Amino acid sequence: NAGVTQTPKFQVLKTGQSMTLQCAQDMNHEYMSWYRQDPGMGLRLIHYSVGAGITDQGEVPNGYNVSRSTTEDFPLRLLSAAPSQTSVYFCASSYLGQGVTYEQYFGPGTRLTVT
């Protein structure tokens, strides 16, 4: 099992450029999510998905798009990068179950700098 993988590990963008952060998991988890981590702000939920074809917004969704066409993949798209999107991005996944606490497994993160 590779767990949760994220690519790239590092990325530098110019303002206005677009890019996709890739996230994949091989644990057949229904739940996947994207967070951004900024100094002093903890992790903030951007978007999440409870299964293929289903996505929903988190705390800070503006400027980001997601889709979930397969169980395994959950890419995060920045349509027009802005310096405020400079951050470390984490993808996470977990099982879903009624009345069961499933832990999230996190990817290693992507450090994105927008100049």
Partner 1 sequence: AQTVTQSQPEMSVQEAETVTLSCTYDTSESDYYLFWYKQPPSRQMILVIRQEAYKQQNATENRFSVNFQKAAKSFSLKISDSQLGDAAMYFCAYRSPDDKIIFGKGTRLHILP
Nearer to partner 1, 17 or 71 (CB): 71
Nearer to partner 1, 14 or 28 (CB): 28
What is the nearest approach in angstroms of partner 1 to the Cβ of residue 29?
Answer: 12
Nearer to partner 1, 14 or 39 (CB): 39
What is the nearest approach in angstroms of partner 1 to the Cβ of residue 98?
Answer: 10
- Point out which residues bind partner 1 (CB under 8 A): 31, 33, 35, 40-45, 48, 50, 58-59, 88, 90, 92, 96, 99, 101, 103-104, 106, 108-109
What is the nearest approach in angstroms of partner 1 to the Cβ of residue 50?
Answer: 6
Residue of 48, 39, 41, 44 whose CA lies nearest to 59: 44
Nearer to partner 1, 58 or 63 (CB): 58
Q: Name the burial class of residue 73, with classes exposed (0-12), middle (13-18) and buried (19+) by CB atoms within 10 angstroms of its CB.
A: middle
